[in-house]
Amino acid sequence: MTTTVPPNSNSESVDSKGLKSGALGLVSSVVVGVASTAPAYSLAASLGFIVVGGTLAAGVHAPGIVLLAFIPMYLIAVAYQELNKAEPDCGTTFTWATRAFGPITGWMGGWGIIVADVIVMSNLAQIAGSYTFTFIGGFGLPGVAALATNEFATLIAGLLWIAVMTWICYRGIEISARVQYVLLAFEVIILLFFAGFALVKVYTGNAEPYSLIPQWNWFNPFGLDFSQTIAPAMLTAIFIYWGWDTAVSINEETKDPGKTPGRAAVISTILLLLTYAIVTVAAIAFAGVGDKGIGLANPANSSDVFSAIGPTLFGSGPIGSILLTLLGFSILTSASASTQTTILPTARTSLSMAVYKAIPEKFARIHPKFLTPTWSTIGMGVISAAFYLIFSAISFSLLNALIGSIGLMIAFYYGLTGFVCVWFYRKTMFKSFRNVIMRGVFPFVGGVILLAVFVYGLVQFAAPDWLVDDAGKNVTIFGIGAEAVVGVGGLLLGLVLMFIWWAVRPDFFRGKTLPMRSDDLVLANVEGGLAGFGLPDSGVFATVIAPDLSNLPPGQTAINVETGEPVDTPSELPPADPNFGKPPEERE
């Protein structure tokens, strides 16, 4: 959002971050937002766990859990949309939380994004590596297909996928978006074909004896026990929606950055709900919720329900083999697409943090030709690969612990964004009923829900017997559930790094590079309209005026953002303020 201030103001221009502005439109942003969630992979890896729930199974009410998990995601998407209107910065939660609550909270919000993305890359790389061999082996190469279970082979393939997707992100945002068009289109087509094929079989009576006719009450989860079923299933269901915020993290590269990214985020969550609802109902209808055979409650199917259902659904003939191969390929494209779109928001978060000197400034470097972050993009790929190697060296079973730990980090920074929205707009929220709902009620409720999910998940994940490996052994670290240790440990590592950087370069933490503010006063622009909120990459940007008008340039007028009326009288400040009541030329 570029705006002009009067030529006789003493505002200083700030150099652009250098990203390619206006490269993406609404459709491209939605594609990136949906692809980031990896719909096919997310459903394959999570649907079984949602059906099982916790101590008590959710069963046929799993679609209700999916619908329930959509609520906080939609509410937080609204918070992203509203905050993006004020400041479309690619740092998203980092920038907004710093503005609202200060540098410590903002730094941890940015770190939450980075560490969640780095951790999930290990899981995505593992899936992409495994399904690479499954897909190639589906063309009559059983020896290649067998490599899908070979740990060393999948490790190498996963590392190659990280390298390839890092290279694509490095080459430019437009090529990244074009790749996503192809991968997402194939993925969604196969998912909808799977759902349609299964439902046709069910409704024509050609399904299995244990198949079920869909019922509307499947979408009602409120008859289930909260602590034993809803809460555990919600922890998994929230994970399948995660990633739509990538559409907002590329805001500085979209057309109309103040509106397009927020709209894309909201549209992405709605499209995901529709997709997940259709596929979940179809899978339950065909496979049932039993704990034997292809039943979705069978623990043997939890890691990949599509591979369990596929052979029975499509049959063993040549056509069935082709369809099964395509289904596997959709999971491969899903994981690989999400690998790419996971790099995008992380690189841009670290870019923004570097611009504001919250991390080393080398991460703010932009490629002169491709206009993409260089150190941030390559660094994301290298760190993700290193993390993948470390976890694989410890135990491949430990990779399963990553999903739960990521859920904690998702709840942390999504929930934080909800509270940030409420606090940022606290001074102008009650100017209209619309603001009360969209900037107050929705973000606050979303934040509270995710806070509850975080606390509950942390307690459950810390139990030593929460996660077991294929041999039935508890997966723990220092005797504590691995998911809790990885989740909390990742956040605590951020605290340590933050304090180290604070000691080295304190300017950000002193509020010099990214000061706190709220939705308040800005300068009038030369056309007489309202100046938008400025960004570090907006050239000469609008000045946010303090309530006492202490930073109002000589000869200029402050404007109330909500009313558009000029402000002539300073607001009251504590008498101890040394500048209170002084004319601008005498202020310190």
Residue-level pLDDT at 14 = 33
pLDDT at 523: 42
pLDDT at 85 exceeding the cut of 80: yes
Structure confidence at residue 3 (pLDDT): 31
CB contact at 8 A, 150 and 444: no
DSSP β-ladder status, 480-481 and 544-545: unpaired
Residue 435 has pLDDT above 50, yes or no: yes
DSSP structure string for 405-444: HHHHHHHHHHHHHHHHHHHHTTTTGGG-HHHIIIIIIHHH
Cα(401)–Cα(394) distance, integer angstroms: 12
| Angle at the Cα of 344 from the Cα atoms of 165 and 386, rounded to 5 degrees | 60
> Between 569 and 181, where is the model more confident?
181
Contact between 278 and 253 (Cβ < 8 Å): no
pLDDT, one tens digit per residue, over 224-261 is 888 778 887 887 888 889 999 999 999 999 999 989 99
Angle at 336 between CA 185 and CA 183, to 5 degrees: 15
Confidence of residue 218 (pLDDT cuts 50, 70, 90): very high
Chain centre to alpha carbon of residue 482: 22
| Entry pTM | 0.83
Cα separation of 493 and 140, whole Å? Answer: 47
354 pLDDT higher than 60:
yes
**Average pLDDT, rounded, for the chain:** 84
pLDDT for position 378: 95
Tens-digit pLDDT profile for residues 161-214: 999 999 999 998 888 888 888 889 989 999 999 999 999 999 999 999 999 999
Categorize the per-residue pLDDT at 530 as very low, low, confident or very high, splitting at 50, 70 and 90.
very low
Give me the pLDDT at residue 286, please: 96
Which residues pair with residue 14 across a beta bridge? 539
Per-residue confidence at 414, pLDDT binned at 50, 70, 90? Answer: very high
Render the burial of 184-208: b for 16+ CB within 10 Å, e for the rest.
bebbbebbeebbebbbebbeeeebb
| pLDDT at residue number 6 | 33
For residue 398, what pLDDT band results from cuts at 50, 70 and 90? low
Question: Contact 311/327 with Cβ under 8 angstroms?
Answer: no
**According to the model, what pLDDT value does residue 494 have?**
95
Using only C-alpha atoms, what is the Rg of the chain? 25
Q: Phi first, then psi: what are they for 65, rounded to 5°?
A: -65, -40
